[in-house]
Structure formats: structure tokens, C-alpha cells
């Protein structure tokens, strides 16, 4: 498990492009036939993936967690952004199609990942936060999500926010998770941009066409910084940083948060004319 420590706002302001990418962008997050995990000091989030191409892959705690098993003190969100697959939790199989999600509660001892077809493997995106109590392992499909329609064609941000793990959906300790998808011709996400001091957030961009990219904006509102992000890459967003983006084509992105509360609307918006 890779451990990544985030720089402060002052340190961030002194980073060049390479330093910024090394500190906040997870470029090599999905590896065929392996589990990849990155531990961040931002609310102790773990971001990772499992891409089974042969035998099932098992989620292990590793030395870094000092735990007997991964979910001993943690909860886990799993979003499948690839082919059909199965997540087995303590002997119970959960089939996940693309854009299905599985919440795995604290105390789940065995978590295994498998693909239905190795030629078109599942790509399980993982986000985990510490948990103080146990909630049931629960699967949800896009039909189960709370769908919030936002934006307009005039502002190029007509989109749907699909909420899965949240206060009024799948119950969790602190994890909030879902994804956003766009209508044809819309490319801007999360406008107006905002920060939320009580939570950190992770954006994982997916379904970005190979020849395209997303320009993700981060940093303090009066000193924003750009990150060019490609398919299946993720950005760590500290509480002090804005997070928004614009793609050169339509795409989807998974958002996940953890921290002091689960109030999706608890944010400090930055009006567009005030961005620098």
C-alpha cells in the first residue's frame, strides 16, 4: 500500500506541475490482475482498485493498517466501472454490472473480487474510510440511486448526480459516494465550485475517451491550479481546495467523501466571478 501525505496550501502554492501531480493525482490507479491501494492522510482515506483478470483477488489489510483484515476498523465503497464482476463478502456473492455499487460494512472479514469474463474484466474502484460502527453490506444499481438533475445546456453542464451511499440512501458511518454523468454536449462539472471544510473528497474520472481528457481545477479559490486528468485517474481534494472540471468530451466521474459529517449540501460555494 502506497502512503501519500498531502502538502499544505502554502506548500501547494510552491509546487510545479510535476509536484502537483505527484501530490494529488493518482495516475496509475488501475492495474490489470492486481489490487492497488493508496493511503492518504486526508481523513485517512484509502483509494484503490481491483481488476481481476484471472484468479479472484483478495483485499488484504497489509502492514500499513496494523489490522487483522481490511475492514476490521473500516468501511468500503466499491463501484464497478468495467465489465461484469462479483464481489464476495464473507461468503456471500454480489454481482455488479457497470455502475453498480456495493457498500461493505465494518467487520467484514473476507472481501474478494472476480470478473465474469477475463477478456472484459471488471474494474472495481475502491474508497474506504475509518468506521466507528457496523452497517449492513448493501448493493445498489443505478435504478436504486437518488438521481438529482442539475445544470443547463446554456452553461454546458446538464448532468445527473447519482447518489448511492448518503444520509437518505445506503447507510454508512462517514462514507458518502456516488457518480455524476452528463448529457451529450455538456462537459462542465461542479459549478459553481466549492470547498467543504468538514470533508475531504476524491474524484475518479472514468469513461473518458482515450483521445480526450478532463481539465480538473483544484487549489484555493483565489489561486486555482490545473491538473490534466485521463481515464481512470483520481484526484485527492483536501478540505481547503475547490474541485471542478471541464472535459474535452463527455465523461463520468465518481465522487466520494469522508470526514466530520455526511451532509451533501454542506459546502462553501465560490461564485464564478470570484475564481482566480
pTM, to two decimals: 0.96
> Is the pLDDT at 266 greater than 90, yes or no?
no
| pLDDT value, residue 261 | 87
Q: What percent of the chain has pLDDT over 70?
A: 100
Which residues of 138-270 form beta strands (DSSP E)? 138-140, 146-150, 159-165, 176-182, 188-189, 194-195, 199-206, 214-220, 223-229, 233-237, 244-247, 252-259, 268-269
Structural domains of the chain, with CATH: 2-274 (2.60.120.10)
Average pLDDT rounded to a whole number, residues 31-48? 98
pLDDT, tens only, 51-62:
999 999 999 998
pLDDT score for 252: 97
pLDDT, tens digit, 9 for 90 and up, residues 222-238:
999 999 999 999 999 99
The burial class, CB within 10 Å (0-12 / 13-18 / 19+), for 98 is middle
Mean residue pLDDT of the chain comes to 96
Amino acid at each position: 500500500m502506497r502512503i501519500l501525505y498531502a502538502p499544505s496550501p502554502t506548500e501547494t502554492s510552491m509546487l510545479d506541475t510535476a509536484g502537483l501531480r505527484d501530490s494529488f493525482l493518482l495516475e496509475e490507479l488501475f492495474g490489470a490482475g492486481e489490487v492497488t491501494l493508496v493511503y492518504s492522510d486526508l481523513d485517512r482515506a484509502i483509494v484503490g482498485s481491483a481488476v481481476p483478470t484471472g484468479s479472484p483477488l483478495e483485499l488484504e489489510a497489509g502492514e500499513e493498517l496494523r489490522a487483522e483484515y481490511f475492514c476490521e476498523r473500516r468501511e468500503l465503497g466499491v463501484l464497478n466501472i468495467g465489465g461484469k464482476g462479483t464481489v464476495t463478502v464473507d461468503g456471500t456473492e454480489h454481482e455488479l454490472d457497470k455502475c453498480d455499487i456495493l457498500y461493505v460494512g465494518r467487520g467484514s472479514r473476507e472481501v474478494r473480487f472476480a470478473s465474469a469474463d477475463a477478456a472484459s474484466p471488471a474494474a472495481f474502484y475502491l474508497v474506504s474510510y475509518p468506521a466507528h460502527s457496523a452497517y449492513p453490506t448493501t448493493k445498489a444499481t443505478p435504478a436504486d440511486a437518488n438521481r438529482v438533475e442539475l445544470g443547463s445546456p446554456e452553461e454546458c453542464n446538464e448532468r445527473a448526480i447519482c447518489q448511492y451511499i448518503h444520509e437518505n440512501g445506503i447507510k454508512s458511518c462517514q462514507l458518502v459516494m456516488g457518480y455524476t454523468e452528463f448529457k451529450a454536449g455538456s462537459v462542465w462539472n461542479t459549478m459553481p465550485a466549492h470547498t467543504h471544510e468538514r470533508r475531504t473528497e476524491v474524484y475518479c474520472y472514468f469513461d473518458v475517451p482515450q483521445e480526450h481528457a478532463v481539465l480538473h481545477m483544484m487549489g484555493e479559490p483565489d489561486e486555482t491550479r490545473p491538473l490534466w486528468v485521463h481515464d481512470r485517474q483520481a484526484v485527492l481534494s483536501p478540505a481547503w481546495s475547490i474541485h471542478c472540471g471541464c472535459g474535452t468530451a463527455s465523461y463520468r466521474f465518481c465522487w466520494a467523501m469522508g470526514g466530520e459529517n455526511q451532509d451533501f449540501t454542506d459546502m462553501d460555494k465560490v461564485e464564478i466571478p470570484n475564481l482566480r
